[in-house]
Amino acid sequence: MRHLIGYARVSTTDQDLSLQLEALRHAGCRDAWICRDTTSGTRTARPGLEACLRTLVAGDTIVVWRLDRLGRLMTHLVTVIEELLGRQVGFRALCDGAIDTTTASGELIFHSRPQRHSTCPMCPAALVDAADFVIDTAASLLLQRSDRVARVLHTEIE
């Protein structure tokens, strides 16, 4: 592994990045390697994310606090993560424990797809199914663990 590159995002200027930044630092991201945005996750054009994606090289890992920080549109999430994997860049969501493509189990979770469209694995419907599966899995984990993980990380940092 080369570098851990963090990405933090809030939707409005009224929101605070500090919890995300603390978690990213605790995970090993240096301040100089954390890209930030203040914009909606539904926007695909985000200067901080674009800078982050340009910075990443093979062997790096992009780290986000939660999967929804990278984006809220399923097709965008799948596209970005697939592009990262194609570039041999890992992806890790801190509060979504199973989403860590640098581990065998995390890669399995990301690449597991429903077989409804098995005759055309790369057709748009299959990609949406895959995105639904990833989002459902992450959302389930997030609902079960995010508050507990956030409290633990916040307590450990203090």
Element (H, E) at 20: helix 18-26
Which among 71, 75, 74, 69 is positioned nearest to 136, based on CA atoms?
74
Is 11 catalytic? The answer is yes
Residue with tokens 């899995």: 137
Instruction: Name the helix (H) or strand (E) containing 149.
Output: helix 124-157
CA 11 – CA 137 distance, rounded (Å) = 23
- The alpha helices in 47-123, defined as continuous H runs, are 47-55, 67-70, 74-86, 104-111
In DSSP terms, 128 is beta-bridged to none
Q: How far apart are CA 125 and CA 146, in angstroms?
A: 29
- The amino acid occupying position 154 is H
The residues assigned a catalytic role are: 11
